[in-house]
């Protein structure tokens, strides 16, 4: 059993390791190195001014690596590595790159040994359309590599790309340093950005010193001396050939416990009674000053120390540490699109719904509706391309089929600001249609014409007319298309139709439909001769008052108004009250030939009768 248990345990251990390795590999595979985001390099001296003078060993200078990229260029977890040439040393502590609102954009790891800084980007890169900023590096000439005076080429090694700056003048290593009885130094700390360090070098001139007392006072009140940070080393001073400066020999000892540090209550000053110092004894005193918050970059922190001894004059030394640290900041932008909805006359339209799609035209990103000023807005956009479509038209207007492309490159500053677009709507168009019905027993009397004329009115004003005849199926249908549904006042337009009078018929208009019924007793219309055809044509084109109406908001076949019109002479015009009440008489020049024949026959008969009576008498 134990053997089986051990086997199972080993199996799961191996499985766990494999799974972890696969997961780690997967994570690594997704992270890419981004080399082409560094756009330029600026170099300054310690004060942040243009670097014009040559650099001394240990003298720091500042490098600003400016970066910029658009949405999609960088993914979370991607890295950018910035390296320095061998002749330079990189200083400073790790830091975070944040935007103005404190959002973390990237983390920066400073590796002094490899002279590289590595940026690792966060999810922030997925929330902005354009990101730009800089990383602020602290560097110096590496005097272990570059020892002689001259100009050193400075460039940033960004992955496989090189960003050139130019050359930096270097003063080279000086001669042997001057020994001091008492001298003070100070510097920034790489391991704690809320602290600085001061040091005191004592007896580099190898003197006998009696009753030595050291006092030290901070020249500022924003920090406190850390009592626990004191270190007192004892040894002999030697010249370091690496930079010709004085350092304690390797045969040194920590004697901190042998001395009492008298720290003031405000923690801004202290004294140490060193007692007797032998001729070959050197001392190195070091301590830290802590700050409640990270100091402002470039702030000076002065400090003065005094050494008193019975057998020498009072020694004073002061130093001002300029607070500097590697850091960075970034600024991310988003942009917006403002759509203005208008009609063809330039009038602002409210109530139009727009949809913002991803570049694919399918994925919905946002929706917006135009306000009383015709404005619909989309905000917090981050991608380079979008598509806008109108998905609901304002009441009384046609839905626009226009598609507007959005490109962040249209902005004056890429990714920041507002892109303005206009959408124009035409008024909604409708179709008014109707059916012509002949209530004449399939043209039993042969009166039906080949075609008729229907006239369309908008709010009582004629706007169109057309001739109507039978289609291939024998149906008399008509329609008027592309009609505006509303007027300039936004109200529905009332449409109505009339029919030019048709000989021998009365007309009934119901909605947009017209029904013609023959008038009893009216003979077939004569065939027009060449000399009266123009009169006949003129007569047939005269407008009837038979009409009905419909509004744009109703169907083309709706309506309940029925108006029957008949003419005074029984041919289809006139007033409805005259239907069937007048004797049907032909109109002059149209149907009088049969009357003339009858009159002639009667006249001949009358003459014959008179002659017959005369002969009989």
Task: Report which secondary-structure segment, H or E, holds 12.
Answer: helix 2-30
Residues 582 and 441 in one domain: yes
Do the beta carbons of residue 466 and residue 481 sit within 8 Å?
no
Same domain, 244 and 381: no
Between 586 and 461, the higher pLDDT residue: 461
The predicted model gives 484-500 an average pLDDT of 86
Please indicate, yes or no, whether residues 580 and 433 belong to a single structural domain of this protein.
Answer: yes
* Distances, alpha carbon 447 to alpha carbons 1, 246, 344, 523, 524, in Å: 114, 131, 48, 8, 5
Give the lowest-confidence range in 19-33, 115-129, 131-145.
19-33
Q: Which residue has the tokens 């001396």?
A: 225
Residues 190 and 153 in one domain: no
Give the residue with greater pLDDT, 575 vs 462.
462
- Asked if 176 and 239 touch (Cβ cutoff 8 Å), the reply is yes
One domain, residues 363 and 460: no
- Given a cut of 90, whether residue 561 has pLDDT beyond it is no
**Which residue is it, tokens 């677009």?**
421
Residue 116 belongs to a domain: yes
Does residue 576 surpass a pLDDT of 50? no
**Do residues 419 and 444 share a domain?**
no
Q: What is the pLDDT of residues 160-180, one digit of tens each?
A: 999 999 999 999 998 888 999
pLDDT, tens digit (0-9, with 9 covering 90-100), for 317-327: 999 999 999 99
Q: Tell me: the pLDDT tens digits for 512-555?
A: 999 999 998 877 776 655 444 444 444 444 444 455 555 554 33
pLDDT tens readout for residues 305-353: 999 999 999 999 999 999 999 999 999 999 999 999 998 888 899 999 9
What CATH number does the domain containing 124 carry? 2.60.40.1280
Half-sphere exposure of 138 (CA within 13 A, CB side): 25
Q: Which of 425, 445, 468 is the last residue of a domain?
A: 425
Mark whether 301 and 350 lie in a shared domain.
no
In whole angstroms, give the CA distance from residue 451 to residue 460.
Answer: 24
Same domain, 495 and 365: no
3-state secondary structure 133-183: EEEEEEEEECCCCCCCCEEEEEEEEECCEEEEEEEEEECCCCCCCCCCCEE
Is the residue at 554 inside a domain?
yes
* C-alpha torsion sign, points 127, 132, 133, 134: positive
Residue 74 lies in a domain: yes
pLDDT digits (tens, 9 = 90+) for 215-230: 999 999 999 999 999 9
Are residue 236 and residue 295 in the same domain, yes or no? yes
Tally of domains in the chain: 4
Please check whether residues 439 and 406 belong to one and the same domain.
no
Tell me the sheet residues that pair with 301: 321
> For 288, what's the count of Cα atoms within 13 Å in the CB-facing half-sphere?
14
Segments forming the whole domain that contains residue 433: 429-594
């Amino acid at each position: 059993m134990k053997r089986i248990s051990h086997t199972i345990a080993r199996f799961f251990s191996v499985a766990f390791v494999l799974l972890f390795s696969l997961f780690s590999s997967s994570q690594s595979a997704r992270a890419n190195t981004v080399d082409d985001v560094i756009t330029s390099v600026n170099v300054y001296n310690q004060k942040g001014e243009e670097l014009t003078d040559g650099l001394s060993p240990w003298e720091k200078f500042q490098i600003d690596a400016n970066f910029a990229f658009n949405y999609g260029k960088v993914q979370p977890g991607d890295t950018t590595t910035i390296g320095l040439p061998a002749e330079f040393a990189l200083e400073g502590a790790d830091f975070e790159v944040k935007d103005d609102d404190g959002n973390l954009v990237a983390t920066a790891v400073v590796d002094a040994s490899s002279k590289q800084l590595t940026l690792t980007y966060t999810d922030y890169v997925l929330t902005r359309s354009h990101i730009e900023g800089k990383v602020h590096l602290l560097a110096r000439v590496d005097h272990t590599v570059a020892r002689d005076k001259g100009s050193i080429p400075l460039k940033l090694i960004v992955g496989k790309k090189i960003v050139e700056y130019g050359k930096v003048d270097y003063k080279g290593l000086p001669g042997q340093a001057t020994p001091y009885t008492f001298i003070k130094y100070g510097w920034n700390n790489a391991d704690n950005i809320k602290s600085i360090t001061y040091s005191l070098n004592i007896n580099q001139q190898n003197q006998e010193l009696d009753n030595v007392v050291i006092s030290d006072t901070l020249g500022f009140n924003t920090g406190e001396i850390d009592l626990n940070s004191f270190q007192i080393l004892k040894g002999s001073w030697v010249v370091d050939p690496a930079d010709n400066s004085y350092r304690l020999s390797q045969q040194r000892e920590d004697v901190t416990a042998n001395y009492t540090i008298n720290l003031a209550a405000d923690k801004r000053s202290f004294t140490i009674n060193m007692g007797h110092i032998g001729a070959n004894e050197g001392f190195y005193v070091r301590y830290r000053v802590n700050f409640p918050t990270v100091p402002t970059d470039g702030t000076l922190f002065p400090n003065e120390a005094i050494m008193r001894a019975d057998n020498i004059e009072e020694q004073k030394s002061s130093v001002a540490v300029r607070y500097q640290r590697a850091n960075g900041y970034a600024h991310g932008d988003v942009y917006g699109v403002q759509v203005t909805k208008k009609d063809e006359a330039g009038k602002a339209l409210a109530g139009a719904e727009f949809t913002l799609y991803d570049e694919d035209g399918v994925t919905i990103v946002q929706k917006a509706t135009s306000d009383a000023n015709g404005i619909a807005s989309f905000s917090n956009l981050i991608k380079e391309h979008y598509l806008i479509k109108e998905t609901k038209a304002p009441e009384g207007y046609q839905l626009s089929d226009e598609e507007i492309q959005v490109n962040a490159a249209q902005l004056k500053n890429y990714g920041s600001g507002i892109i303005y677009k206009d959408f124009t709507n035409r008024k909604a168009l409708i179709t008014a249609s109707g059916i012509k019905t002949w209530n004449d027993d399939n043209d039993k009397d042969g009166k039906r014409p080949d075609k008729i004329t229907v006239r369309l009115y908008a709010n009582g004003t004629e706007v169109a007319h057309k001739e109507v005849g039978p289609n291939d199926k024998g149906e008399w249908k008509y329609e008027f298309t592309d009609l505006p549904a509303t007027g300039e006042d936004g109200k529905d337009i009332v449409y109505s139709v009339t029919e030019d009078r048709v000989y021998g018929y009365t007309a009934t208009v119901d909605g947009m439909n017209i029904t013609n019924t023959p008038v009893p007793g009216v003979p077939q219309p004569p065939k027009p001769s060449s000399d009266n055809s123009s009169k006949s044509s003129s007569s047939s084109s005269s407008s009837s008052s038979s009409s009905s109406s419909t509004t744009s908001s109703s169907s083309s076949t709706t309506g309940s108004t029925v108006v029957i019109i008949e003419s005074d002479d029984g041919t289809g015009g006139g007033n409805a009250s005259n239907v069937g009440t007048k004797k049907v008489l032909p109109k002059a020049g149209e149907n009088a030939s049969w009357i003339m024949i009858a009159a002639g026959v009667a006249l001949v008969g009358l003459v014959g009768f008179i002659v017959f009576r005369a002969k009989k008498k």
